[in-house]
Amino acid sequence: MGLITRYRERLPFAPGDPVVSLEEGSTPLVLAERVSERAGVEVWLKLEGANPTGSFKDRGMTCAVSDAVRNGMEAVICASTGNTAASLAAYAARAGLRGAVIVPEGKIATGKLAQALMHGAKVIALRGNFDEALKLVRELCEHHPIGLVNSVNPFRLEGQKTAAFEVLDELGELDALCIPVGNAGNVTAYNKGFVEMGVRPRLFGFQAEGAAPLVHGAPVANPETVASAIRIGNPARWEEAMEAFTSSRGAVRAVSDTQILDAYRFLAAHEGVFCEPASAASVAGLLTHGVDGAERVVCVLTGHGLKDPQTALSQAGAVVPCEPHIAAVEKAVLG
């Protein structure tokens, strides 16, 4: 069942309200033995890439688009580094709404672009970065009856907090949660979910070194990192995220692209889990900085590795060419 149905009594939806769902949520939580060994703590991976469009954005989108339908909107729009665009496009298609997405030109991973286009959204490539896109889309929605479904939309956080419920339903308790941070909506949502359930695991957020405004305490004008989903210089949920780190006795820290890519390859090669580079920032952060004495840790893997085949191919081994003869095949396989 979808997450509005599963958690309706903890969400702002009444029985009978329209629900636009692709049966998102209820994603796997798997024990990561190799990562646990390396980190010296018990590590669980929350596989958000298993959502219908391949990222946790579907949790927020089912709520935001259902609310847009409830309010009689005919169109929805967002600024996006990619996954919000893919998710919006799918849920808008499902609801029969028009969808538009504004993405930074040339900066969006191939899989995400393919999804947004296939689902029939209008994809607008802005000659600017994500932060500029968000500013413009907010201005547009002030003047037109279009539903804004960026993480400034409170329904996004409502949907995303359900991941915290799932972790608690399954594990009972945990000491810490490691999570990549871009716009900081997701960490804000997990915090909300944990607070509502009366528990306070320590929240450790990780930003990429070249896009770490929360770590430096100042916006970054030209954010740069291989992890395109967290290439954000001025997070929309800045204050709430900082409050979440402080009040849970956690922290926000930076990891380098090298550390991110190391974790990315390690997860794929030794845990069988293919996530996108931004997602690997949670595990990179755990391996680099530790979790200040926590024993049972959940790392959120926010999106699927297939989203970004280009980065994967640039990081993986080469294929082995082979002539169609048994001797050549023997040599290729066994050599």
Which stretches of the chain bind ligand PLP, using CB under 6 A?
55, 57, 83, 151, 180-186, 229-230, 276, 278-279, 302-303
> Which one, 62 or 83, has the nearer CB to ligand PLP?
83
Specify the residue, 174 or 278, whose C-beta has the smaller distance to ligand PLP. 278
Q: Residue 288, annotated ligand binder?
A: no
Q: Tell me whether residue 191 is annotated as binding.
A: no
CB closer to ligand PLP, 42 vs 183:
183
Pairing, β 42-47 against β 29-31 = antiparallel
Q: How far is the CB of 309 from ligand PLP (least distance, A)?
A: 15
- Check whether 183 is labelled as a binding-site residue: yes
- The nearer residue to ligand PLP, 56 or 266, going by C-beta atoms, is 56
Cβ–Cβ under 8 Å, residues 225 and 211: yes
Q: What is the dihedral of CA 262, 266, 269, 270, to 10 degrees?
A: 170
The bridge status of strand 122-126 relative to strand 147-148 is unpaired
Is 186 annotated among the ligand-binding residues?
yes
> Which phi-psi region, left, alpha or beta, contains residue 45 (left: φ > 0; alpha: ψ -120 to 50)?
beta
- What CA–CA distance (Å, rounded) separates 316 from 318? 7
Residue closer to ligand PLP by CB (options 43, 275) is 275
Q: Which is nearer to ligand PLP, 92 or 187 (CB)?
A: 187
Q: Binding site annotation covers 184?
A: yes
* Exposed e or buried b per residue across 40-69, where buried means at least 16 C-beta atoms within 10 angstroms of its C-beta: ebbbbbbbbbbbbbbbbbbbbbbbbbbbbb
Q: How many residues does the chain have?
A: 335
Rounded least distance, CB 82 to ligand PLP, Å: 7
Asked if residue 311 belongs to a known ligand binding site, the reply is: no
Distance CA 198, CA 222 (A): 39
Q: Name which of 115 and 151 has its Cβ closer to ligand PLP.
A: 151
Residue 143 Cβ vs ligand PLP, minimum distance, rounded to whole Å:
25
CB-nearest residue to ligand PLP = 303
Closer residue to ligand PLP (CB): 73 or 211: 211
CB of 329 to ligand PLP, least distance (A): 38
CB of 197 to ligand PLP, least distance (A): 20
Provide the token pair at 174. 């945990």
CB of 229 to ligand PLP, least distance (A): 4
H or E element in which residue 30 lies: strand 29-31
Question: Smallest distance, Å, CB 108 to ligand PLP?
Answer: 11
User: Is 210 known as a binding-site position?
Assistant: no
Contacts of 281 (CB under 8 A, 6+ apart): 180, 181, 206, 207, 208, 227, 230, 255, 260, 263
- Give helix then strand counts, H and E, for the chain: 15, 10
Contacts of 22 (CB under 8 A, 6+ apart): 2, 52, 53, 58, 62, 90, 91, 94
Min CB(26)–ligand PLP separation in Å: 18
Pair 57, 278: CB distance under 8 Å: no
Known binding residues for pyridoxal 5'-phosphate are 83, 182-186, 302
Known binding residues are 83, 182-186, 302
